[in-house]
Each structure stands twice: as structure tokens, then as C-alpha cells.
Amino acid sequence: MSAVIEGPTTAAPAAAATRGHVDITNVRKSFGSTEVLKGVSLTVPPGGVAVIVGPSGSGKSTLLRTINHLEKVDGGYITIDGQLVGYQVRGNKLHELREKDILKQRTDIGMVFQNFNLFPHLTALENVTEAPVVALHRNKAEARKRALELLDRVGLKDRAAAYPRQLSGGQQQRIAIARALALDPKILLFDEPTSALDPELVNEVLDVIRELATSGTTLIIVTHEMGFARDVADTVVFMDEGQIVEQGSPQEIFANPREPRTRSFFSKVIEPAFNI
Amino acid sequence: MSSAVTTVAQSAQQSAPEPAPASAVAESPTAAAAQSAAAPGAAAPAAPGAVDWPAADYSGYKLVPARHPWRWVGTVMVALGVVAVAWSLATNPRWEWGVVAQWFTAQSVVNGLVETLKLTAISGALGFVLGFILALMRLSASPLLVSVSWTFSWIFRSTPLLVQMLLWYNLGYLYEKISLGIPFTDIRFFEVQTTTLISQFAAAVLGLTLNQAAYSAEIIRGGILSVDQGQLEAAAALGIPAWRRSTRIVLPQAMRAILPTAFNEIIGLVKGTSIVYVLAYSELFYTVQVIYNRTQQVLPLLLVATLWYVAITSVLSVFQYYIERHYSKGAVRNLPLTPLQKARKFFATHAPVNLDRAKEGR
Ligand SMILES: Nc1ncnc2c1ncn2[C@@H]1O[C@H](COP(=O)(O)OP(=O)(O)OP(=O)(O)O)[C@@H](O)[C@H]1O
Ligand SMILES: [Mg+2]
């Protein structure tokens, strides 16, 4: 990692990407009396890579979880390729969808969790084939074939029969990424995918995500890995206290943050990281 | 971050005394420091005249494991005790083993045994199915379902099983007829005398099932709660439907917590079925009682029943071992060998053929 801030090393997302346009409009969310999201708006174009950074408790995870309706919004709305997430329009009201339709929508949105959440009683291969078979009704042999391809892609084809607890943290997270990819999602959400990993395992996971960033899938990533954010992001979004304080290209945000809050956050986070 | 690691490594090296860089690698810094204090500049303990203990070479010595005399004393005492008990069981004529043998496979006893097994299997299975439903209700988001489930457990756990049995059996006294129809009207689809509907068997199964359901609901609920919330979340994020999330993702993991207690319950139920004697229902224990009231051979007949209970429990314990093993897949890094596999391995490595090879090696 050099101290010089450069432009993104990845080329602009493939122009071919046409699906996975995310539009978040004025989303609000409270837990009890604390407002965690105070009107957040964000647009990520098809194939775009948005990296969300910000201090702990600023609402990054909550925002990510509203995108696949794991968390219901209290106000505002989210659309993916023009289609409302979790709701449908009837008259001049937004009615929440039935569970079945929400599950259907979620198959377009993959999610990778900080602590992997692999199913420990299923093998790596079974973890990857489960959702395509039961949620997309793919046939078993076909799902298996595709799963093996994906395991190969994350470099773990030879561990297909292993149970998650027999794998290292980095390997588990790569399996979790393969599991999310198995549904061929338009969008992938990553919530601090490397925070639970030992430092030497971080890169093997980041490399897989880097490769995805050029594949045309829309990525929204919450991370504390600033070097990685700089490499991979088209847009860096800085959140604080439930609001987007500032967003822009990595060069703009890292080199010339306009807002004092952004500057003070980066002065705490980046300097030590970049001195290494 | 890698530089932080390097720094730690460097400082560790620096804390070792400069004059003895070779020993700093193999020995702890304190040992190295002590050594260099005694003989500054000495690189190895074998250097002549530099150390105050004789140089020694132990490479030709044989290793002797520590002895544990008290362990042996304890083992011998326990073994003596076991032999004494076995001896008295075998030689004291009052146990009347001949009578035990005579009744052990008698037709009436075997019939009773079959009834016991039937009651256990039916009310155990129904009880756990109902318990599973009650547990799901209790964990659901609906306040109505939660309170119905809670009330069920509350009532059936607080009423003595004996009272439940008698109530079910005497339902005919409380409600002469049972009918299905539209409430508060005269329309009836069918109607039946309660006493014909509720036989001894039905009362026994009803009582045992409902009671078992109340207890197993709590056991299953505990098991489900022990599964990490993130599992459900991940499954929901993958679009896996709710029922499948319960049965494929959560329940198999919950089983690890459920099984030991569940088998406790089932083994308890095997003997607990004997409570149906209040209905004069001839399961194993009731049958035995009837026999010894007639023949006055109380102890031998109680032994007959006990031996059968021991047999059933033993079989169940073997099942428990293998079922628990099945559900621990993935939960432990590597499954331990089963007793059978261990035995096979023992015979494979201790077989006469291999003994020869072992001798050669010696
Ligand atoms: N289910 C919940 N109930 C109540 N409060 C919650 C809940 N989930 C999150 N919060 C609160 O919402 C705020 C934002 O949480 P969130 O997890 O989105 O933060 P974050 O930016 O992801 O932080 P971190 O970087 O530590 O993961 C926090 O103050 C948190 O305590
Ligand atoms: Mg978070």
C-alpha cells in the first residue's frame, strides 16, 4: 500500500451492464426513539461499485439491510431497476409485499455478512446449492454444476465437501461469496466482509471482491479497508449519524474531502492505515 | 498492519541479549538472560568450564512413564465391589432367578411389554410433533399464538399426570356426548357417546401425548433459541422460504441441543407409561403387578419388569448415540470414531498378523 492516493486501478464498469440500478430515495429508519437513518438518498448505476465508509454506529449496516428489506424502512423508498423493494403501489399508497414476493426479490440481491453466517451443518457445496434449488427451483444437478464453477472461481473447488468449521475464516467468507453469487444476483451487498478476519486472510477475500467489481454486478460495500476502497470504488460514500455527509470519486473523497466531518474521520482512519 | 507484526518480532529479538544471538532463537529470553548473566559471552551450555553443571548426554536413556499407585488402588477396590455385588446377585437364592427366567418371556409379560412400547412410541411421537408446533407458535410474532402455546404448557405442566389421565377417562361423566357442529345452533354433523370414543387406550395416549407435548415444546424452543439469529437472517437474505428455514436450517442445528434432553424425556416416558395403571391398562408394569399379586413372587417379578426397562433404555441409548452423532456433523471439526469403528481399528492393529510385524519392529 503506497501513501500516494491514485485513481481507481479498475477501469470504469463494463458498459454492457444494464441491470442492477439501485435508487435509494430519502430513506428513514428509527429503532425506538433513535433515528438511525435520517433521510438517505443514494444512486448506484448498473455495474457500479459504491463503498460506504463512516464511524461505528453511523447506520451503514442498517442502510445496507434496508436494500434487501431485511430492515423495513419507516419512510422513503428503494427501487432496483425501477422496481420498488418490499412494496407495491396501490392507489396512492405503498403496500408491503407478501413474504413470498419479498423472498423472490431477494434472490436478485446477494448479501455477504461480516461473520459469514454459513450454514455449519451443510458442506460448502450444500451451502452454495441450497438457495438456487429451493428459491429458484433450479434442478439439483444443474445447481451443483454451477456451484462447483463458483467454488472454483473463489479458489475453493477442492474444499467442496468440507464443513464450514473445517475451513479458515477467509475460506468461509469466500464460500459465503460463492453462495451469494449462486443466485446470479443483480446486486451484491457486503457488510464489512473482512472485519472478522485475521489480517493475513483479508487479501484473499478482497481479491475475490476485486474480481467481482469488474464483472458488471452492482456492488455496495461497507468496509473499513480504505486502501481497498480507493482501489475498487467508483463512488465512496461517507456516512455519519444516519446521513450521507459526502460522496464522490475516491480521489475527491480521500484527497480533498470538502466536509470537516469527513476530513476528521479520515485523519483518524486513513493516516495510521496509510503509514504502514 | 504487517509492519506491526514485524515490529513485535523485532523487539522480541532485541530483548534477547546481544552476545548470544544463536541461543535467543531456541530459548526463552529469560533463560538466555540468566545464562549470559552467569557466563557473559558464552554461546552454548556445553562450553567447558563456563557452566556450573556437568555436561550430560541422555540420548541412550529409556523413557519411563510416571506411576499412579492410587489409581491402581482405586481400580482394585471398585473391581472388588463389582465382583461382590455380582456374586451376591448370583448366589443369594432369594432373588429367585429361576422365577425371573420363567416369567421373563411369558406371553402375558410380552404382551404388556408390547403395550408399553406402543404407548411410548405413539405418545412420544405425537407429543414431539405437537411440541414442535407449540414451540413454533411460542416463537411466532403473533401474540395470540404465543399466549395459546404458553397457556397450554402452563396447564399441562401444572396438572398431575394422574389427574389428567383420570379426567380424560372420565370425560364421559363431564360431557356425555361429543359432537361436531356449528356452535350455538342445533346443527350437528356427527355426535358420539363420549365413553365409546374414549377407551382406556385413547385416554392413556391423550394424557401422555398432551403432557409430553407441553414438556417437549419447551425443550424444542430451547434448542431453537440456541441457534444463532444470523442463520435465519442469512437464509432469509437468500430467499429461502420460512418453512424451509425452520426445517432445513434451524432445526438440524437445534437438534444438537434438543437431543440429549429429548432422549431423557423418552426414556422417562418408557417408565412413565406405567402410570396408566390407574386406568387398569395392562402395560408391562401393570401386568407384572397383577402376576405378583396372584403368585406373591414380588421381587422376582419386579426384576422381570426392571430387566425389560433396562433393555429398552439400552437400545434407546444406542440410538441416541448415533442420532446425536449424525446431527453433530459440521459442528465438530472431525467426528470421533464410533465404538464399532474403534473396535475394528483395535482388532486391525492388534491382530496376530500385525503382532508379528510389531515384533519385527522391536
Ligand atoms: N435492531 C436494532 N435495534 C435497536 N437499535 C439498533 C438495531 N440495529 C442497529 N441499531 C442501532 O442503530 C445504529 C446504527 O447501527 P448500524 O449497525 O447501522 O451501524 P454501523 O454504521 O453499521 O456501525 P458499525 O461500523 O459498528 O457496524 C446504532 O446506534 C445501533 O445501536
Ligand atoms: Mg455495521
Residue type, A247: Q
Number of Cβ pairs closer than 8 Å across A and B? 84
Taking CA atoms only, the protein residue closest to ligand 1 atom 29 is A57
C-beta A33 within 6 A of ligand 1? no
Question: How remote is the C-alpha of B260 from its chain's centroid?
Answer: 3
B45 CB neighbour count, 10 Å cutoff? 14
Task: Say how many domains are in chain B.
Answer: 1
Q: Please name which of A270, A214, A266 lies closest in space to residue A245, comparing C-alpha atoms.
A: A266
Who contacts B346 (Cβ-Cβ below 8 Å, separation ≥6)?
none
A271 pLDDT band, cuts 50/70/90, is: low
A interface test, pick of B6, B232, B238 with most A CB neighbours within 10 Å: B238
Mean pLDDT within A103-114: 95
Instruction: Kindly tell me if the per-residue pLDDT of A92 is higher than 80.
Output: yes
Using the Cβ of B242 and the Cβ atoms of chain A, whether some distance falls under 8 Å is answered with yes
C-alpha cell at A195: 472485519
A2-41 pLDDT, tens digit per residue, is 444 444 444 444 445 678 999 999 999 999 999 999 999 9
- Starting from the CA of residue A55, give the closest ligand: 1
Give the start-to-end residue ranges of the domains of chain A. Answer: 13-99+185-271, 118-184
The pLDDT of A115-139, averaged and rounded, is: 96
pLDDT computed for residue B338 by the predictor: 82
CA–centroid distance, A58 to ligand 1, in Å, is 7
CA distance B286 to B331: 43
Give every CB contact of residue B215 below 8 A, 6+ residues apart in sequence: B127, B131, B157, B265
Helix, strand or coil for residue A219?
strand
Taking CA atoms, B71 is separated from B75, B78, B83, in Å, by 6, 11, 18
Tell me if B231 is assigned to some domain.
yes
Cβ partners under 8 Å of residue A200, min gap 6: none
Atom 12 of ligand 1: nearest residue by CA position: A36
Output the residue whose Cα is nearest ligand 1's atom 19.
A57
DSSP notation for B261-326:
HHHHHHHHHHHHGGGGGGGT--SHHHHHHHHHHHH--HHHHHHHHHHHHHHHHHHHHHHHHHHHHH
Nearest 10 degrees: CA dihedral of A122, B339, B85, B266?
A: 30
In percent, how much of chain A has pLDDT > 70? 91
Residues of chain B with pLDDT under 70: 1-51, 350-362
Q: What is the CATH number of domain A13-99+185-271?
A: 3.40.50.300
* Cβ–ligand 1 contact at A237 (below 6 Å): no
pLDDT at B51: 67
Q: Exposed e or buried b for every residue in B285-315, given b needs 16+ CB within 10 A? A: bbbbbbbbeeeebeebbebbbeebbeebbee
Picking from B228, B240, B334, the nearest residue to A131 by CB comes out as B240
Q: pLDDT by residue (tens digit) across A41-87?
A: 999 999 999 999 999 999 999 999 999 999 999 999 999 999 999 99
Which tops the pLDDT comparison, A183 or B195? A183
State the pLDDT confidence band at A173, using cuts at 50, 70 and 90.
very high
**Residues of B whose CB is below 8 A from A123:** 330
B53, part of any domain: no
Instruction: Report the alpha-carbon distance of residue A253 to residue A235 in Å, rounded.
Output: 9
Q: Return the pLDDT at B200.
A: 87
A243 Cβ inside 6 Å of ligand 1? no
Q: How far apart are CA A2 and CA A227, in angstroms?
A: 9
Identify the pLDDT of residue A10: 43
* Ligand showing the shortest atom-to-Cα distance for residue A53: 1
| Residue B131 domain-assigned (yes or no) | yes
Ranges A10-14, A104-108, A119-123: which has the least confidence: A10-14
- Which ligand has its closest atom nearest to the C-alpha of A36? 1
- Nearest atom (ligand 1) to Cα of A192: 27
Residues 6+ apart with CB under 8 A from A100: B241
- Residue B148 within any structural domain of the chain: yes
CA B321/CA B337 separation, integer angstroms: 12
> What confidence score (pLDDT) does residue A18 get?
79
Q: Is B202 an interface residue toward A (CB < 8 Å)?
A: no
Q: Whose CA is nearest to atom 24 of ligand 1?
A: A56
Host domain of residue B316: 97-330
Length of chain B: 362
CATH number, domain with residue B249: 1.10.3720.10
Mean pLDDT of A229-241: 94
Contact map slice: A 204-263 vs B, CB within 8 A: none
Residue B124 DSSP label = H
Tens digit of each residue's pLDDT (9 = 90 or more) over A192-222: 999 999 998 999 999 999 999 988 899 999 9
pLDDT at B58: 87
Task: Report the distance separating Cα A34 and Cα B207, nearest Å.
Answer: 50
Angle at B18 between CA B16 and CA B19, to 5 degrees: 120
CB-based contact A64:A52 (threshold 8 Å)? yes
B71 part of a folded domain: no
Partners of A80 in the β-ladder: A22, A83
The pair phi, psi for residue B242, each rounded to 5°, is -55, -45
Percent helix / strand / coil, chain B, rounded to 5:
75, 5, 25
Q: Note whether A131 contacts B239, CB cutoff 8 Å.
A: yes
Dihedrals φ, ψ of A87, to 5°? -140, 165
Specify whether the CB–CB gap between B245 and B236 falls below 8 A.
Answer: yes
Q: Is the distance from CB of B208 to CB of B126 less than 8 angstroms? A: no
pLDDT at A53: 95
A72 lines ligand 1 (CB under 6 A): no
Put simply, whether A272 touches B (Cβ < 8 Å) is: no
CA B69 to chain centre: 34
Which candidate, A240, A177, A244, places its Cα nearest to that of A43? Answer: A244
